[in-house]
Structure 1
Amino acid sequence: ISCHQLPIIPVWAFTDYKVQGTSLQKVVVDLASAGGVQNAYVMLSRASSLSNLAILRSFAPHRPFGRLQEDLHNEFERLSDLDQKMSHWLHHEHL
C-alpha cells in the first residue's frame, strides 16, 4: 500500500453577478453555465491577465446565446454613431 497526499487549498465560488466590478488574481470559469453573452463577458473579464484565466468548460457552439438585450444593443449603436461623428469631427474640422 502506498499513500499519496494531495495539497488542499482554499477556493471560493462566485456567480457572475457577484463578481461584477471586481478583479481577481486567478480565475477558473465555467462558460457552459453562462446564460448569455453578457454573462460570459463578465466571467472572462474578471481575470487580471490571460495567464491567470482557466476555462473549465467552454460554451457549446450550437447553443445560441440569444440576442443582446434591446437597451444594450441600442447603446452599442449610439456609441458607434458617436465614434463616427467624433472621428469625422477630429479629422475634418480640427486637423
Structure 2
Amino acid sequence: MTVHKAQGQGMKRVIVDLAQCRGTEEPYTMISRAKSLAGLAILRPFLGSKLRCPPSEEYRDERTRIGSL
C-alpha cells in the first residue's frame, strides 16, 4: 500500500520501509498509521536523518501563509 493510500487509516499492524522515504512527511505518515508501537515493524535499518531533516519548502510556505492570517 502506498503512503498516500494509507492516509487517514489506522491499522493494527504496519510494516514500514523508512530507508526509501522522501521528505519528512512520508515517515510521519507511515509510522502514524500504527495504532500502537507493538503493531509497528520497521523493515530495515535507516539513516536517522530521515526523521530529522528540515521540513519541506511547501510545508514552510504553508506555515508562513497560515501565520499571516
- Residue 70 of structure 1 is matched in structure 2 by 57
Contact kept, 8 Å, 1:34 with 1:59, in 2: the verdict is: no
Q: Confirm or deny that 1:22 pairs with 2:9.
A: yes
4+ residue segments displaced more than 3 Å: none
Structure 1 segments unaligned to the other structure (5+ residues): 1-13, 79-95
Q: How many pairs does the alignment contain?
A: 64
Task: Name the structure, 1 or 2, with higher relative contact order (CA <8 Å, separation 6+).
Answer: 2
The CA RMSD over aligned residues, in Å, is 2.5
Between the aligned residues of both structures, percent identity stands at 38
Deviation at 1:60, TM superposition (A): 2.1
Structure 2-normalised TM-score?
0.73
Structure 2 segments unaligned to the other structure (5+ residues): none
Q: Which has the higher helix share?
A: 2
- Residue 81 of structure 1 is matched in structure 2 by none
Structure 1-normalised TM-score?
0.55
Bigger CA radius of gyration: 1
